[in-house]
Amino acid sequence: ELKVEQNPLFLSMQEGKNYTIYCNYSTTSDRLYWYRQDPGKSLESLFVLLSNGAVKQEGRLMASLDTKARLSTLHITAAVHDLSATYFCAVQETSGSRLTFGEGTQLTVNP
Task: Say whether residue 111 binds another protein (CB under 8 A).
Answer: no
What are the helix (H) ranges across the chain? none
Min dist. Cβ of residue 18 to another protein (A): 25
Under DSSP, the state recorded for 81 is G
* Residues 6+ positions from 89 with CB-CB distance below 8 Å: 4, 6, 21, 23, 32, 33, 34, 35, 72, 74, 101, 102
Stretch that binds another protein, among 20-28, 44-52, 59-67, 76-84 (CB under 8 A): 44-52
Sequence-distant (≥ 6) Cβ neighbours of residue 51 within 8 angstroms: 30, 65, 67
Q: Binding pattern to another protein, positions 54-93, x when CB under 8 A?
A: ----------------------------------x-x-x-
Residues interacting with another protein, by CB under 8 A? 31, 33, 35, 41-43, 45, 48, 50, 88, 90, 92, 95-96, 98-104
